[in-house]
Structure 1
Amino acid sequence: MKTKLLVITALFFIGSFVTTAQNDTRFGAMLAYGTEIENLGIGVNAEFPVMENLNISPGFTYFFPKDEYGINVNWWEINGNANYYFTDREDFGFYGLAGLNYTHVSIDYDDSPIGGSMEASDGRFGLNLGAGANFDIGSSITPFAEAKYVIIDGSQLVIAAGIKFNI
């Protein structure tokens, strides 16, 4: 139940920014790969300009459940980053990012023949450091790529690519 509440809260938070959008605001979707969970995920993010060359970028990533040796792992994260654009030309924008991360991991083990089972979950706060690039293709859709390192207990590198819609 806590997971659903956090997901709904994150989507509401992102949606409230979209309704107050200004020029150069973007909302996007992405595919991601996490090196610690070693699995693909999907996510949403947004960018809201706050000053010249500086955007606030909230995001949510849900990694697909992973089942190894009877242990089911669920992993998701909420991010709040600041993107600083070093280069923001018409066709290409390169930015560094830094921000906060909340990662939630839950595991579930069910050994039906023996009758034993186990469930556990944990959430941790961490820091994001990384870089990304937007590629302007001359439409309201902007492809992007991003790599960030999440500094947390169980740190991981997250590599993502997707599209942002200019609003």
Structure 2
Amino acid sequence: MKARLLITGALLFFAGILSSSAQTDTRLGAMLVYGTEIENPGIGVTAEFPIIEDLTIAPGFIYYLPKDESGISLNWWEINGNAHYYFSNTESLGFYGLAGLNYSHVKVDFDGSGWGGTDFGASDGRFGLNLGAGANFNIGSSITPFAEAKYVIIDGGQLVIGAGVKFNL
């Protein structure tokens, strides 16, 4: 229930920003990712809002696919608030560095039916920092493929590698 509320809130947030900053460089996108700490793929949404030349604000949300192993269920999602600085922005390629804040939430449930009947569940949320780089591949249309890699500096740390498409608005 909390996850649905959070996703709805994030979508309303994106919609509010989009209605207040309709520029040709504003982008909204979807991506597939892989997290090295959870060792699982995920799906996400991202956006880019120009602030000044070569600098954008890029909020995002990633939901990792649930993982079930030996009666243990793991759910993980993260919210990101990044800034992208474009070092190179040619007609065919836009290369950027990224830095920002991360909030990761993990929930673990243990089904104890096969282990004496005791169920157990716990969840935790942590703030961290994002550092990474990415590239937009300008193919001459309103759709822009992109690839991105970031390291989340948090307990245990996690490398997140992703790719997707952004739609110019």
The TM-score range, normalised by the shorter chain, is over 0.9
Q: Does 1:96 align with 2:97?
A: yes
Q: Does 1:163 align with 2:169?
A: no
Q: How does 1:37-52 map to 2 (within 5 A)?
A: 37-52=38-53
Q: What one-letter code is carried by the residue in structure 2 that aligns with 1:58?
A: P
Separation in 1, partners of 2:145, 2:87: 18
Q: Deviations over 1:60-90 (max 9, x none)?
A: 0000001122110000000000000000111
Q: What corresponds to 1:6 in structure 2?
A: 6
Separation in 1, partners of 2:82, 2:98: 6
Q: State, as a whole percentage, how many aligned pairs show the same letter.
A: 69
Secondary structure, in 3 states, of the residue corresponding to 1:116?
coil
Q: What corresponds to 2:25 in structure 1?
A: 24
Structure 1 length-normalised TM: 0.97
List alignment gaps of at least 5 residues for structure 2. Answer: none
Secondary structure, in 3 states, of the residue corresponding to 1:22?
coil
Q: How does 1:87-126 map to 2 (within 5 A)?
A: 87-113=88-114, 114-126=116-128
Separation in 2, partners of 1:3, 1:48: 25
Structure 2 length-normalised TM: 0.96
Q: What corresponds to 1:129 in structure 2?
A: 131
Report if aligned partners of 1:10, 1:78 keep a CA contact under 8 Å in 2: no
**What is the number of residues matched between the two proteins?**
167
